[in-house]
Amino acid sequence: MMEIKILGGGCPKCHRLEAVTREAVQDLGLEARFTKVKTMPEIMAYNVMTTPALVVDEKVLSSGRIPSREEIKGWLAELTN
């Protein structure tokens, strides 16, 4: 099972990133566990300076923006191969 973390304080952009990522996971038929990382010390542990950020299986895939659904699907497909 894939471990997906959304890093951010819970702002609208963080919620949107989670929604788009959930859609991408569903499109690909993957199983994933989602976790929200909200505290600054936890976020800084990933060397992320701007949120929202997307972390999949402990790898930071994006930060400071909301990637497109297709972009996220491409990353997830690469990680599952």
CATH number for position 7: 3.40.30.10
Residue 81: the pLDDT is 81
Is the predicted pLDDT of residue 74 greater than 90, yes or no? Answer: yes
At 11 the pLDDT is 92
Residue 73: pLDDT band with limits 50, 70, 90: very high
Write out the catalytic residue numbers: 11, 14
Query: Over the stretch 2-54, which tens digit does the pLDDT of each residue have?
Result: 999 999 998 999 999 999 999 999 999 999 999 999 999 999 999 999 999 99
Q: Could you give the number of structural domains in the chain? A: 1
Q: Which domain holds residue 73?
A: 2-80
> For residues 37-62, b (16+ Cβ closer than 10 Å) or e, as one string?
beeeeebeebebeebbbbbbeeeebb
Please report the pLDDT score of residue 52 as a whole number.
Answer: 97
What is the Cα gyration radius of the chain? 12
> What is the CA angle 25-27-31, rounded to 5?
35
